[in-house]
Amino acid sequence: MSFFRGRRLRRTESLRNLVRETELRPQDLIHPFFVLEDDDLQTRKPIASMPGQSQLGLGALVDDVHRAWDQGLRALMLFGIPKHKDERGSQAYAREGIVQQAVTRIKETVPEMLVITDVCLCEYTSHGHCGLIAEGMVQNDPTLELLAQTALSHVQAGADMVAPSDMMDGRVQAIRQTLDAEGFCDRPIMSYAVKYASAFYGPFREAAQSAPSFGDRKTYQMDPANALEGLREAEADVQEGADMLMVKPALPYLDVLRRLRERYDLPLAAYHVSGEYALIKAAGEKGWIDERQVALESLTSIKRAGATCILTYFAREAVEWVG
């Protein structure tokens, strides 16, 4: 017999464990949280399209972060939902904005939790776009200063890392310059470098109340059909000083993630987004798939494709599954 006997190395569980190439570790996972500015600090508003996830008042958030730490979670990403929105998204960079308060509270309570903040205006603007609007268009350059101020206010509150998700050109450079000038040369930037204009963000926009009130995000987020363009975006962010690069969404773009892995030596993040989570949850609830197994297979695949770390709404559960 002269054919390949691949089954030899799959004969027993110990053997399969021995030759496993990819291991999902608790410290690979980053859980996104939504903090809601509300008079009731203990408020919990479940997000219908993301079962298991809620908008949390400040107190409820701190409780959940504390519990997640005890479960083994070591990193989180924060999104804010402000009480007031305006044309310029001023609550995004307000010193006492909801994210700034949340960072402070988390750092007081669970100081070792790695706190990453999403830097964007869309949750804070009345029009729901990620940048300033003039003549019906999202304005790139005037937005940069606001993004830099947002990032600065987050690190001043104690954020360990900032993650710009707006897809304006030049934002990594603008943020880096501002952080450095203000004495925060030690805080890294995780750039949402390759972010697609994806329908998979649907549930998130309900969760963060950030759907654009007119038009769409196609003049700043990328065309799902393009991979080479993603490489150009990544290169620009590397040149501008990004410390980590992100691909988003994750599963539909594993090819892009793999190409970035081969080309760059920076750590890579992948964002398993709200729609990817919702699909698994919905099919799991119907009993059509094994939710836990599908979630773990998805996250392992993202890691196998080249992700150093993964943002996922399954993180809290997954740290226990793999811990």
- Beta carbon nearer to ligand PBG, 3 or 89: 89
Catalytic residue, candidates 85, 248, 281, 303: 248
Comparing CB distances to ligand PBG, the nearer of 45 and 205 is 205
As to burial, measured by CB atoms within 10 angstroms (0-12 exposed, 13-18 middle, 19+ buried), residue 282 is middle
Rounded least distance, CB 6 to ligand PBG, Å: 37
Task: Please identify, using beta-carbon distances, which residue of 49 and 156 lies nearer to ligand PBG.
Answer: 49
User: Is 248 known to be catalytic?
Assistant: yes
Shortest Å distance, C-beta 196 to ligand PBG: 9
Under the rule (CB under 6 A), what is the footprint of ligand PBG?
118, 120, 122, 130, 165, 201, 204-205, 217, 273-274
Dig out the tokens for 135 from the structure. 């003549």
Choose, from 45, 83, 107, 195, the residue flagged as catalytic.
195
Is 286 one of the annotated active-site residues of the chain? no
Closer Cβ to ligand PBG, 108 or 145, answer by number: 145
Q: How far is the CB of 273 from ligand PBG (least distance, A)?
A: 3
Residue nearest to ligand PBG (CB): 204
Q: Least Å distance between CB 262 and ligand PBG?
A: 25
- Minimum CB distance to ligand PBG, residue 236 (Å): 18
Taking the least distance from each CB to ligand PBG, the nearer of 30 and 273 is 273
* Residue positions annotated with a catalytic role: 195, 248
